């Protein structure tokens, strides 16, 4: 039997902790694993592209546990009532190869993306940052807002999306959460939203080289949390922002980010810092209050490894609707797999005077 976490169980686990606490605990798990960077078997994710989207497999292993995530990205799905991103994942025991957990990762991916964003921003944004612009108000936006409000003390979030309905949805959900000391402003353009912002989070969905931010929008000292560009041919920042003399760029895993991140627009010699080095104190998050910092986040398999390990632990800690599924055969003789397909042995009918 394999532990299983579906949508109902993840809702239960998050509800017991609260979204903000769940994100902060998950950020701690992610940081702990990035600090073990050298022990992980790492590779860029395997992507299968089509005109409408991408399907990806994301593996990682520390030699004791192995994890992978299946995830898609189809921006036009929302037009037919489907999610842009869906995901599930497996955590397995390396010694036996047996899976330990099968889990939903659609909600969890949004939670871990927000956790990683806030984790990086704590090292890169100015400590007095209180205003965040949020460009792209779709499925990721609430998670990012909660993470930055809780973990960095953001007190004003300025919203913009080309779809006014998405901004209205976000505004409504944030009002229901009643986050203390958070002011929410809806803006009429990206330029209006970023004006006066300390942190700018871009989390748009279109699979194209978009120009969400241009050089005139960027002020000295800003931190850019660029989340939406996450596959070849999909970016959000004008390349001249990256070319600024006062810019510092952090990525999760350089070989993957060179293919998928904002830095795909730059040459192979363009300098970046990996998140593991930043978290380990091997590189500073910023060089001064006027430096522009960019977290070029595409999502990396190590974050999903951390998420699955965290889910399995709290799944066992918390009472509730714990489930297992019969994903694997249970055999008396491990060499006799075919026995599972044989009919049950027939029982002899009892005869008079003879015990059945």
* pLDDT tens per residue, range 37-82: 999 999 999 999 999 999 999 999 999 999 999 999 998 999 999 9
Q: Is 91 domain-assigned?
A: yes
Residues 177 and 214 in one domain: yes
Q: Is 345 domain-assigned?
A: no
Catalytic residue, chosen from 3, 33, 161, 230, is 230
Residues 190 and 87 in one domain: no
Task: Residue 259: give its domain's CATH number.
Answer: 3.40.50.720
Residues 319 and 289 in one domain: no
**Of 292, 296, 299, 297, which Cα lies nearest the Cα of 129?**
292
Q: Confirm if 251 and 225 have CB atoms less than 8 A apart.
A: no
Residues 278 and 224 in one domain: yes
Structural domains in the chain (count): 2
d(CA 30, CA 33): 5
Residues 83 and 143 in one domain: no
Residues 201 and 55 in one domain: no
Q: Domain of 36? A: 2-107+303-328
Q: Confirm if 174 and 42 have CB atoms less than 8 A apart.
A: no
**What is the model's pLDDT at position 257?**
97
230 assigned to active site: yes
- What does pTM read for this prediction? 0.93
Q: Are strands 131-135 and 156-160 parallel, antiparallel or unpaired?
A: parallel
Cα 249 → chain centroid? 19
Q: Is 344 domain-assigned?
A: no
Residues 311 and 222 in one domain: no
**What is the model's pLDDT at position 345?**
53
Q: Is 349 domain-assigned?
A: no
Between the alpha carbon of residue 321 and those of residues 22, 106, 164, the distances in Å are 18, 19, 38
Band the pLDDT of 206: cuts 50, 70, 90. Answer: confident
Residues 231 and 307 in one domain: no
Q: With 70 as the cut, is the pLDDT of residue 349 above it?
A: no
Q: Is 355 domain-assigned?
A: no
Task: Residue 311: give its domain's CATH number.
Answer: 3.30.1780.10
Residues 199-224 have a mean pLDDT of 91
Q: Is 338 domain-assigned?
A: no
pLDDT, tens digit (0-9, with 9 covering 90-100), for 224-250: 999 987 788 889 999 999 999 999 999
């Amino acid at each position: 039997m394999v532990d299983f976490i579906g949508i109902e169980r993840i809702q239960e686990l998050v509800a017991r902790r609260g979204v903000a606490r769940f994100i902060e605990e998950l950020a701690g798990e992610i940081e702990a694993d990035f600090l073990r960077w050298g022990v992980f078997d790492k590779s860029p994710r395997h992507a299968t592209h089509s005109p409408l989207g991408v399907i990806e497999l994301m593996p990682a292993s520390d030699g004791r546990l192995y994890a992978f995530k299946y995830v898609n990205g189809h921006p036009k799905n929302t037009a037919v009532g489907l999610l842009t991103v869906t995901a599930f994942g497996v955590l397995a025991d390396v010694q036996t190869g047996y899976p330990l957990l099968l889990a939903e990762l659609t909600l969890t991916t949004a939670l871990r993306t927000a956790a990683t964003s806030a984790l990086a921003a704590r090292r890169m944004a100015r400590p007095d940052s209180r205003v965040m612009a949020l460009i792209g108000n779709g499925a990721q936006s609430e998670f990012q807002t909660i993470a930055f409000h809780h973990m960095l003390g953001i007190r004003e979030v300025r919203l913009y999306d080309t779809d006014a309905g998405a901004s209205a949805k976000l505004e409504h959900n944030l009002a229901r959460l009643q986050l203390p000391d958070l002011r929410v402003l809806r803006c009429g353009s990206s330029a209006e939203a970023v004006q006066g912002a300390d942190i700018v989070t871009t989390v748009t969905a279109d699979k194209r080289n978009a120009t969400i931010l241009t050089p005139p929008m960027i002020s000295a000292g800003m931190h850019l949390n660029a989340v939406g560009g996450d596959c070849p041919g999909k970016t959000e920042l004008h390349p001249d922002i990256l070319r600024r003399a006062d810019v510092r760029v952090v990525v999760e895993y350089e070989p993957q980010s060179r293919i998928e991140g904002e830095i795909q627009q730059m040459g192979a010699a363009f300098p970046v810092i990996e998140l593991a080095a930043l978290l380990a104190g091997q590189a500073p998050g910023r060089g001064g209050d006027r430096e522009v910092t960019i977290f070029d986040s595409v999502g990396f398999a190590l974050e999903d490894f951390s998420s699955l390990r965290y889910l399995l632990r709290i799944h066992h800690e918390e009472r509730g609707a714990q489930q297992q599924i019969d994903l694997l055969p249970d055999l008396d003789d491990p060499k006799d797999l075919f026995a599972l397909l044989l009919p049950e042995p027939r029982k002899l009918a009892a005869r008079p005077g003879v015990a059945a």
